[in-house]
């Protein structure tokens, strides 16, 4: 697998700018050195902000028609697609994703989202408002009308995490660019190359200079992108703790924020559920990408009449997973991103046992894998919703089962959380499941597993400590625009 042509440079103002420092990027599956990546500093952040600001204020991008930007971004996506296999290999090596996860969820879905956002952005930027008549002082009638104009918000800083890096790099950059903004993309230090490769592709696609900038780095770079007054909007995906810090950092300049944060989402399994299907979904939501997903359903609220059967079905499925290096296409469960993530997962196992939860399976490092940040998929039963293991986001492969007796109790347990990102209900009584879904305080609910794929037309986001704002769909596109109304008389 090749890395990048520009290994030690950042993409700023349409140019490759050398970085003074490099940092080793490790493959989480075997702890081998993938490559050295450039590490940006505050001076690079300042240069990227300046380039993006100048490109927005003085460049051609925001003045292009929607169709012209659509054509340019279609060329950009086509250029990405030509490097599909290279990018998928990079997702596997850098993020530790399995082959299936890398190909479908981490590559195909964001490309689908990107195309949909480009198509949405082809809508007219100016929408007529209803014509109204009003009596005037001269005894006549004034004919009045107006339009609603959607303007690009300006300079966007997009800060992405390590779990779904390519997905979120594309998912933030494309809609922001499609409506005329300029973007500074900052990836996680663990997964820089899935961002930097987009700089090479921007060159190939001929994006105007300064429209897309990519800087790596640590806390100093991140704070520059959340505090500088030249930034108009911050789009961040990550933990609720960092989201709260970004909100505080951005407050003095009153920036717009789009925050997609943590989750501890509930899966309700009613007594009439198809338990095989529910257990499949339950297992996937504990183990997908080694539990490193904010929207995963990790609190399983199961009717007591079927709870023991459900737990056994999930256990069987978890223990049948093939754990190992995801370079092997037969592997269905890979590593956590770093040793710190494995240690955090292990600590939460100790916390759960100390609280009185019953360990069903997992709870330790797998045998025979001496290198790589692996941890067995882990399931607890006899959990109370007040336990820390049921309230705090682990971001690792741990699921908990909580029993209930009535629908009202299940809804109350599901809503008793500081988070509100996702949710699920399994029931053969779909009408009742829909009524329950209406009562859940969360950003989305999937009934009986949902539609089978993540829709590009459905807005995604949360409430409470899961953040605010929406991504994808027309609502997600609108997050990157300002509304302006212009009124006028008809005569």
Q: Domain ranges in the chain?
A: 9-261+468-488, 265-456
Q: What are the pLDDT digits (tens) for 5-32?
A: 766 899 999 999 999 999 999 999 999 9
Helical ranges in 267-355 per DSSP H: 275-287, 307-319, 339-355
**Residue tagged active-site, from 31, 43, 119, 260:** 260
User: In the predicted model, is pLDDT for residue 58 greater than 60?
Assistant: yes
Q: Which residues of 264-273 are buried (b: 16+ CB within 10 A; e: fewer)?
A: bbbbbbbbeb
* Relative orientation angle of helices 109-120 and 66-82, to the nearest 10 degrees: 170
Range 356-385 average pLDDT: 97
Residue 6: predicted pLDDT: 67
Burial classification of residue 97, based on how many CB atoms lie within 10 Å of its CB (0-12 exposed, 13-18 middle, 19 or more buried)? buried
Q: What is the mean pLDDT of residues 264-284?
A: 98
Region 122-142 average pLDDT: 90
Q: What is the mean pLDDT of the chain?
A: 96
Does the pLDDT value for residue 221 go beyond 70?
A: yes
Interval 413-429 mean pLDDT: 98
The token duo for 465 is: 């400590």
How many other C-beta atoms are found inside a 10 Å radius of the C-beta of residue 163? 26
Task: Let me know if the fold of 9-261+468-488 is the same as that of 265-456.
Answer: no
pLDDT in tens, 167-214: 999 999 999 999 999 999 999 999 999 999 999 999 999 999 999 999
Q: How far is CA 470 from CA 130, 240, 244, 341, 474, in A?
A: 27, 16, 17, 27, 9
**Does residue 439 carry a catalytic annotation?**
no
pLDDT in tens, 341-360: 999 999 999 999 999 999 99
Bridging pattern class, strands 265-269 and 15-18: unpaired
pLDDT at 2 over 60: no
* Per-residue pLDDT reduced to its tens digit, 143-162: 999 999 999 999 999 999 99
Residue 476 is inside which H or E element, if any? helix 473-478
- Tokens found for residue 435: 């009524």
pTM (predicted TM-score)? 0.95
Q: Does 491 score more than 80 pLDDT?
A: no
Chain length of the chain: 491
pLDDT of residue 143: 92
The per-residue pLDDT for 461 is 98
80-100 pLDDT per residue, tens: 999 999 999 999 999 999 999
Helix, strand, or coil here: 253? helix
By the 10 Å C-beta count (0-12 exposed, 13-18 middle, 19+ buried), 252 is classed as exposed
Percent of the chain with pLDDT over 70: 99
Backbone angles phi, psi at 368, to 5 degrees: 85, 0
Task: Report the pLDDT averaged over residues 216-225.
Answer: 97
Give the integer Cα–Cα distance in Å for 198 and 419: 32
Question: Does residue 1 have a pLDDT over 60?
Answer: no
Q: In angstroms, rounded to a whole number, what is the distance separating the alpha carbons of residues 378 and 276?
A: 19
CATH of domain 265-456: 3.40.309.10
Mean pLDDT (whole number) for 387-402: 98
If you classify domain 9-261+468-488 with CATH, what class do you get?
A: alpha beta
Residue 404: beta bridge partners? 303
> Range with the lowest mean pLDDT among 168-177, 295-304, 444-453?
444-453
Q: How are beta strands 398-404 and 182-186 bridged, if at all?
A: unpaired
- Which runs of E-coded beta strand occur in 336-435? 358-361, 378-381, 398-404, 419-420, 423-426
| Residue 453: pLDDT over 70 | yes
């Amino acid at each position: 697998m090749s890395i990048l042509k520009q290994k030690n440079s950042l993409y700023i103002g349409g140019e490759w700018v050398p970085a003074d420092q490099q940092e080793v990027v490790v493959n989480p599956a075997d702890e081998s050195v993938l490559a050295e990546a450039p590490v940006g500093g505050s001076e690079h952040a300042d240069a990227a902000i300046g380039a993006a600001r100048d490109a927005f204020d003085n460049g051609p991008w925001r003045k292009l028609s929607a169709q012209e930007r659509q054509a340019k971004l279609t060329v950009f996506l086509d250029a990405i697609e030509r490097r599909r296999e290279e990018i998928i290999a990079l997702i596997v090596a850098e993020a530790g994703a399995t082959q299936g996860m890398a190909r479908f969820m981490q590559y195909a879905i964001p490309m689908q989202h990107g195309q949909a956002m480009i198509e949405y952005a082809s809508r007219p930027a100016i929408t007529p408002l209803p014509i109204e008549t009003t009596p005037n002082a001269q005894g006549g009638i004034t004919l009045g009308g107006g339009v609603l104009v959607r303007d690009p918000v300006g300079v966007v800083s997009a800060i992405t995490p390590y779990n779904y890096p390519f997905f979120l790099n594309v998912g933030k950059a494309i809609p922001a660019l499609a409506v005329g903004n300029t973007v500074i993309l900052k990836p996680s230090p663990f997964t820089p190359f899935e961002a930097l490769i987009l700089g090479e592709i921007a060159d190939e696609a001929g994006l105007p200079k300064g429209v897309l900038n990519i800087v790596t780095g640590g806390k100093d770079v991140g704070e520059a992108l959340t505090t500088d007054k030249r930034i108009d909007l911050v789009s961040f995906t990550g933990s609720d703790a960092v989201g709260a810090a970004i909100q505080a950092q951005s407050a003095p300049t009153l920036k717009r924020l789009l925050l997609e944060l943590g989750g501890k989402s509930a899966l309700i399994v009613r007594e009439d559920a198809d338990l095989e299907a529910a257990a499949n979904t339950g297992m996937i939501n504990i183990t997908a990408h080694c539990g490193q997903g904010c929207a995963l359903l990790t609190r399983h609220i199961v009717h007591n009449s079927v709870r023991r059967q459900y737990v056994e079905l999930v256990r069987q499925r978890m223990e049948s997973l093939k754990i190992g290096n995801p370079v092997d296409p037969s592997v269905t469960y890979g590593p956590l991103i770093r040793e710190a993530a494995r240690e955090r997962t292990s600590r939460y196992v100790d916390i759960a046992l100390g609280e009185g939860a019953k360990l069903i399976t997992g709870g330790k490092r797998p045998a025979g894998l001496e290198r790589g940040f692996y941890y067995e998929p882990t399931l607890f039963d006899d959990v109370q919703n007040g336990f820390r293991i049921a309230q705090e986001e682990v971001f690792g492969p741990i699921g908990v089962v909580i029993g209930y007796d009535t629908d009202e109790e299940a809804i109350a347990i599901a809503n008793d959380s500081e988070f509100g990102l996702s949710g699920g209900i399994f029931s053969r009584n779909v009408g009742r499941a829909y009524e329950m879904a209406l009562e859940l305080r969360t950003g989305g609910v999937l009934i009986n597993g949902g539609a089978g794929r993540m829709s590009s037309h459905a807005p995604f986001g949360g409430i409470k400590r899961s953040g605010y704002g929406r991504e994808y769909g027309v609502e997600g596109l609108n997050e990157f625009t300002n509304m302006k109304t212009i009124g006028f008389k008809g005569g």
